[in-house]
Amino acid sequence: MIHAGVIAVQGDVSEHARAIERAAAAHDEEATVHEIRRAGIVPDCDVLLLPGGESTTISRLLRQEGIAPELRDHVVAGKPVLATCAGLIVAARDAKDDRVETLGLVDVTVDRNAFGRQVDSFEAPIDVAGLDDPFPAVFIRAPLIDEIGESVEVLAEWEGRPVAVRDGPVVGTSFHPELTADVRLHRLAFFSDLLTEAAD
Ligand code: GLN
């Protein structure tokens, strides 16, 4: 049994919860999903999801509720995190916006709504390292990943720009992997150890 926490202070929670359950099932695991709105639950979670939504609100509530330091401890312990869209903005080193207090879980800087200024929302098939076939990526007012630290691996690009990265146990995407039926990104973020073991 895997205990998965979905940060639920604001943003799209239920789609991620279903995707995590389906991703776990694909690895013959069962997942119990905990919606996290207060401190004290994260320490019991094996994996964590930081969903999309509104990064200014999410970052404020994470600090207000005392959840932010627990997220850092989770990453320091090497436990997996998937951070999507606004979640990636919050997890970044810097979002170049005083209204977002970033957590520094992923050594990237991001530009909020950078894709959105050009076009509000779109879907594109993208190649992701570790996946055999393109992933249908849904971008909604997506952040642009800008500066990338040395510890960061780029997993996917769209038009020459990074849109999925991994920094240690944290996978971050500019897009919304929970909005399609494809749960391979959730599997990659949370079960890649199992995938490696299976390959051995
Ligand atoms: N642009 C939004 C923000 O800055 C994120 C959009 C999203 O999560 N779909 O919070």
What CATH number has the domain bearing residue 28? 3.40.50.880
Told to judge if 74 belongs to the known catalytic residues of this protein, a careful annotator would answer no
Determine the distance separating the centroid of ligand 1 and the alpha carbon of 188, expressed in angstroms: 22
Give bridge partners of residue 161 from the DSSP assignment. 158
**CA 58 to ligand 1: nearest atom:** 10
Told to judge if 157 belongs to the known catalytic residues of this protein, a careful annotator would answer no
Angstrom distance (rounded) from CA 44 to CA 53: 24
Indicate the number of domains in the chain. Answer: 1
Output the tens digit of pLDDT for each of the chain's 200 residues: 999 999 999 988 999 999 999 999 999 999 999 999 999 999 999 999 999 999 999 999 999 999 999 999 999 999 999 999 999 999 999 999 999 999 999 999 999 977 766 567 899 999 999 999 999 999 999 999 999 999 999 999 999 999 999 999 999 999 999 999 999 999 999 997 644 444 44
ipTM of the complex: 0.93
Told to judge if 85 belongs to the known catalytic residues of this protein, a careful annotator would answer yes
Domain that holds residue 133: 2-199
What DSSP letter does each residue of 153-198 carry, written as one string? EEEEEETTEEEEEEETTEEEESS-GGGSS--HHHHHHHHHHHHHHH
Ligand 1, pocket-test mutation among 84, 85, 146, most atoms within 8 A of CB: 85
